């Protein structure tokens, strides 16, 4: 019995759903911009885990390539996000998202 | 079952050897420092001061365990532990020698031959900064936090050049497994002859990653008291210092394995030794190469002054990174041309 | 095998919960690192060793170091984070639970379960991924590198915005 035959694919679906929902919860209840960005990363990771699991179950590497691309984009996203936070912190000396209400159009 | 016994005994052996070498590296450092400065150095404990590391260790254990009042207690203890763990993890992929045959069983002198060994190295190296960052932060001391910030930006900057130097090496060897990289270097085909610039970049970056002079801005005592370990005492300080020497040992081992042929030496197949004894001689040669690199680390430390922080950043981003990219492109171009 | 999965999953979920419900930002970052390591462990179990290592290098080695770096630079531990009103929190948790129930029920109610052909096991090694990445997915790969370059340029531009104003 290999690992993939022992573990039903539903388990990975459920695990990924749980992590995704925890991340969503974090995005909704935290006010700190850094925490929100971290929770978004967590949601991305939940989806990536699902893709890798499916790549294992379907024996298809395309999903792993997709995960690779997601990681690249996530790194770029975090770099841009953090520099925006640091500039906003310089301006308003807070990284509370509710203090940044004036950013909306 | 036999597999696990073999692996566990190898892990224990490698761990002990690493610790002993790190211990004696401290003595070597003090002896060489004394030599460079025309002193005698430690000579009281045992003959020629050979028991000095033991005395130091005992002293560390008996010092007062002190945690600052406003420090984060959990993170304060976690910092040195992480430093130590990250330093020891790299030993897992280093091939220490040829396979040896014991009682008809072939035993690989490598804990794990990962097919992504070089990437594993890069990953573990990038984790090394957490110990410093967390310890510096948890001390609740301005100097320590400054040191943690310095360490992290330095690590990230020099990792880039290091990674690009490794990519050029991988382009040349065509494999990510350290074992295969070492095996491809037999007969004097050492990678340093094909990747001289890559080796130079890797060497400079390993000084930075091991936080050694001239890149030890994180513990720069003239500006930051003691840097991230200002508030540390007893064995927790010992862990940090120890981790530095282990890092030095590991960096030397990685450089010898990647660029200087690992356990190969010229004439390995012409002396007519049996396989097992040839493998053991190979291990000895590997450790000689490591010792030479460690001497180089010590030599640099007691010869060169340390960089200023802006010089460090300029060197990393404006000199090493473009050179590494140029080296990578050149290597790729050559390997395309030569097929 | 099953125990490995369960232990890693428990670690993943617990550290994810820690990220959301810890007040101290440093602990939140550290538990996110643990979470990423657990997910990398899952990748190893799923025979995607390359992605596992990349996960450690990119997420634990670069992204989280950046987070920690910014946290230390802003010195955020001094100010306690103002929390949202309690009623909002309850609603948010309720919404998330609903989403979770919906997702899980989709998993169980959808009729055709995922079944796979028992082929020879393949591992997601570099030698398998490389040709795919550089032949079939060469254009997306180049596009991501352009995206990355523009992100770097953007970061440098945003970061040096204040400096230029000061000089003039």
Q: Which of A72, A79, B158 is nearest to C146 (CA)?
A: A72
> What percentage of chain B reaches a pLDDT higher than 70?
97
C touches which chains (3+ CB pairs under 8 A)?
A, B
| A30: helix, strand or coil | coil
Q: Which of B167, A25, A72 is nearest to C149 (CA)?
A: A72
Q: Tens digit of pLDDT for each residue in B20-38?
A: 888 888 888 888 888 888 8
Shared domain for C75 and C132, answered yes or no, is: no
Task: Give the number of domains in chain C.
Answer: 2
Select the residue from C5, C36, C46, C121 to test the A interface by mutation, using most A Cβ atoms within 10 A: C46
Predicted local confidence at residue C36, as pLDDT: 92
Interface touch A21/C99, C-beta < 8 Å = yes
Q: Which of B53, B55, B69 is nearest to B20 (CA)?
A: B53
The pair of structure tokens assigned to A43 is 């949601």
Structural contact between residues B93 and B111, judged by C-beta atoms closer than 8 angstroms: yes
Radius of gyration of chain A (CA): 17
Predicted local confidence at residue C39, as pLDDT: 92
Q: Which of A34, A53, A74 sits opposite C70 (nearest CB)?
A: A34
Rounded to a whole number of angstroms, the distance from the CA of C22 to the nearest CA of chain A is 10
Give residue C146's domain range. Answer: 128-168
Please enumerate, as own/partner, the contacts of C90-93 that have beta carbons within 8 Å and a separation of 24 or more: C92/A25, C92/A28, C92/A29, C93/A25, C93/A29
Rounded to a whole number of angstroms, the distance from the CA of B116 to the nearest CA of chain C is 7
- What's the rounded Cα separation, in Å, for the pair B285 and B141? 45
Q: Which of C26, C57, C69 sits opposite B153 (nearest CB)?
A: C69
Rounded to a whole number of angstroms, the distance from the CA of A63 to the nearest CA of chain C is 10
A touches which chains (3+ CB pairs under 8 A)?
C
| Last residue in a domain, options C20, C48, C81 | C81
What mean pLDDT is predicted for residues B90-98?
Answer: 83
Contacts of A68 in chain C (CB under 8 A): 51, 54, 129, 133
Predicted local confidence at residue B153, as pLDDT: 85
The strand ranges marked E within A1-105 are none
- What's the rounded Cα separation, in Å, for the pair A92 and A86? 10
The pair of structure tokens assigned to B227 is 């840097």
Structural contact between residues B127 and B86, judged by C-beta atoms closer than 8 angstroms: yes
The pair of structure tokens assigned to B137 is 């932060």
What mean pLDDT is predicted for residues B290-310?
Answer: 87
Contacts of C73 in chain B (CB under 8 A): 149
Residues of chain A with pLDDT below 70 are 1, 105
| Last residue in a domain, options C50, C81, C112 | C81
CA B195, B199, B201, B202 dihedral sign is positive
Shared domain for C13 and C70, answered yes or no, is: yes
Predicted local confidence at residue A40, as pLDDT: 92
Specify the DSSP class assigned to residue B44. S
Predicted local confidence at residue B90, as pLDDT: 85
Rounded to whole angstroms, what are the CA distances from C132 to A45, A73, B116, C137, C143?
22, 19, 17, 6, 16
Q: Tens digit of pLDDT for each residue in B244-253?
A: 889 889 889 9
Predicted local confidence at residue C31, as pLDDT: 92
- CB-count exposure of residue B338 (10 Å: 0-12, 13-18, 19+): exposed
Structural contact between residues B255 and B206, judged by C-beta atoms closer than 8 angstroms: yes
Tally the C-alpha atoms within 13 A of residue B127's C-alpha that lie toward its C-beta: 28
Q: Tens digit of pLDDT for each residue in B130-152?
A: 888 888 888 888 888 888 888 88
Rounded to a whole number of angstroms, the distance from the CA of A102 to the nearest CA of chain C is 18
Domain-wise residue ranges, chain A: 31-96
**How many residues belong to chain B?**
339
Specify the DSSP class assigned to residue B102. E
Crossing angle for the helix pair B196-209 and B321-337, nearest 10 degrees? 150
The string of DSSP letters for B313-326 reads HHIIIIIIHHHHHH
Shared domain for C2 and C65, answered yes or no, is: yes
pLDDT at B203 over 80: yes
Q: What ipTM was reported for this prediction?
A: 0.88
Contacts of C35 in chain A (CB under 8 A): 19, 42, 45
Predicted local confidence at residue C116, as pLDDT: 56
H helix runs in B109-233, sequence order:
117-138, 142-173, 178-183, 191-194, 196-209, 221-224
The pair of structure tokens assigned to C95 is 């919404």
A47 touching C, CB under 8 A? no
Residues of chain C with pLDDT below 70 are 76-83, 111-124, 162-168
Pairing outcome for strands B105-109 and B97-102: antiparallel
Element (H, E) at A84: helix A62-92
Q: Taking a contact as any Cβ pair under 8 Å apart, which residues of chain A between 17 and 46 contact chain C? A: 17-26, 28-32, 34-35, 37-39, 41-42, 45
Structural contact between residues B87 and B240, judged by C-beta atoms closer than 8 angstroms: no
Shared domain for C137 and C76, answered yes or no, is: no
Q: Which residues pair with B101 in a beta bridge?
A: B106
- CB-count exposure of residue A80 (10 Å: 0-12, 13-18, 19+): middle
∠ at Cα C29 (B141, C7), nearest 5°? Answer: 130
Average pLDDT over chain B reads: 84
Crossing angle for the helix pair C64-74 and B142-173, nearest 10 degrees? 160
Predicted local confidence at residue A39, as pLDDT: 92
Crossing angle for the helix pair B142-173 and B117-138, nearest 10 degrees? 180
Q: Which of B147, B189, B198 is nearest to B170 (CA)?
A: B198
Domain-wise residue ranges, chain B: 54-337
The strand ranges marked E within chain B are 97-102, 105-109
């Amino acid at each position: 019995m290999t690992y993939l035959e022992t573990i039903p694919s539903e388990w990975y679906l459920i695990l990924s759903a749980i992590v995704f929902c925890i991340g969503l919860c974090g995005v909704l209840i935290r006010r700190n911009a850094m925490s929100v960005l971290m929770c978004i990363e967590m949601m991305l990771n939940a989806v990536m885990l699902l893709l890798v699991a499916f790549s294992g179950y379907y024996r298809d590497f395309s999903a792993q390539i997709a995960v690779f691309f997601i990681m690249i984009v996530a790194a770029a996203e975090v770099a841009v996000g953090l520099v925006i936070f640091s500039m906003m912190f310089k301006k308003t000396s807070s990284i509370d998202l509710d203090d940044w209400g004036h950013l909306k159009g | 079952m036999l597999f696990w016994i073999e692996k566990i005994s190898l892990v224990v052996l490698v761990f002990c050897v690493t610790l002993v070498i790190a211990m004696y590296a401290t003595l070597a450092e003090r002896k060489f420092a004394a030599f460079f400065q025309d002193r005698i150095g430690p000579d009281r404990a045992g003959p020629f001061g050979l028991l000095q590391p033991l005395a130091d260790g005992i002293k560390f254990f008996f010092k007062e365990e002190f945690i600052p009042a406003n420090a984060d207690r959990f993170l304060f203890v976690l910092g040195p532990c992480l430093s130590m763990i990250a330093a020891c993890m790299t030993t897992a992929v280093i091939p220490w020698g040829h396979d040896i045959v014991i009682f008809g069983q072939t035993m690989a002198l490598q804990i794990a031959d990962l097919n992504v060994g070089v990437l594993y190295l890069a990953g573990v190296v990038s984790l090394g900064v957490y110990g410093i960052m967390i310890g510096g932060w948890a001390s609740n001391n301005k100097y320590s936090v400054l040191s943690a910030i310095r360490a992290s930006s330095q690590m990230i900057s020099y990792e880039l050049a290091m990674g690009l130097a490794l990519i050029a090496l991988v382009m040349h060897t065509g494999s990510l497994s350290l074992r295969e990289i070492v095996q491809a270097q037999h007969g004097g085909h050492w990678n340093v002859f094909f990747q001289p610039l890559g080796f130079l970049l890797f060497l400079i970056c390993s000084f930075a990653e091991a936080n050694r002079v001239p890149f030890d801005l994180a513990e720069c005592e003239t500006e930051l008291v003691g840097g991230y370990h200002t508030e540390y005492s007893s064995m927790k300080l010992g862990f940090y210092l120890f981790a530095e020497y282990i890092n030095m040992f590991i960096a030397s081992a990685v450089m010898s394995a990647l660029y200087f042929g690992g356990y190969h030496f010229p004439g390995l197949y012409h002396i007519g030794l049996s396989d097992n004894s040839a493998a053991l001689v190979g291990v000895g040669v590997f450790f000689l190469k490591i010792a030479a690199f460690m001497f180089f680390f010590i030599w640099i430390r007691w010869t060169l002054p340390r960089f200023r922080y802006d010089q460090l950043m300029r060197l990393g981003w404006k000199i090493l990174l473009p050179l590494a990219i140029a080296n990578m492109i050149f290597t790729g171009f050559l390997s395309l041309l030569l097929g | 095998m099953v125990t490995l999965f369960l232990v890693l999953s428990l670690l993943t979920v617990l550290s994810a919960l820690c990220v959301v419900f810890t007040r101290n930002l440093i602990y939140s970052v550290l538990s996110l690192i643990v979470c990423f390591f657990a997910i990398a462990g899952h990748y190893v179990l799923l025979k995607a060793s390359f992605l596992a290592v990349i996960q450690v290098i990119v997420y634990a080695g670069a992204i989280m170091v950046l987070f920690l770096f910014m946290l230390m630079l802003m010195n955020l531990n001094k100010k306690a984070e103002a929390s949202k009103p309690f009623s909002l929190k309850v609603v948010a948790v309720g919404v998330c639970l609903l989403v979770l129930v919906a997702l899980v029920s989709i998993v169980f109610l959808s009729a055709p379960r995922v079944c796979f052909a028992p082929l020879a096991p393949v591992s997601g090694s570099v030698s398998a991924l490389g040709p795919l990445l550089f032949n079939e997915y060469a254009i997306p790969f180049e596009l991501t590198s352009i995206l990355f370059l523009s992100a770097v340029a953007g970061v440098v531009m945003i970061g040096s915005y204040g400096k230029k104003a000061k000089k003039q």
